[in-house]
Amino acid sequence: MKWKCTCCGYVYDEDVGDPFNDIPAGTKFEDLPENWVCPLCGCPKSKFVQLTL
């Protein structure tokens, strides 16, 4: 799954994780800590929307 930040357009890809914040590849979006924020702009998880293919 991929999730897009509605503030800046950053895409969190579960297959990649978030290397900026030491989140390992394979980490599901819902398993990210509640205080996780977009590594580019700092927006909270609540500002992300799931991308559909």
| Digitized pLDDT (tens) for each residue of the chain, 53 residues in all | 999 999 999 999 999 999 989 999 999 999 999 999 999 999 999 999 999 86
d(CA 41, CA 27): 20
Please name which of 33, 35, 36, 17 lies closest in space to residue 25, comparing C-alpha atoms.
17
The values of phi and psi at residue 44, to 5°, are: -75, 165
The model carries a pTM of: 0.92
Which CATH code for domain 2-51?
2.20.28.10
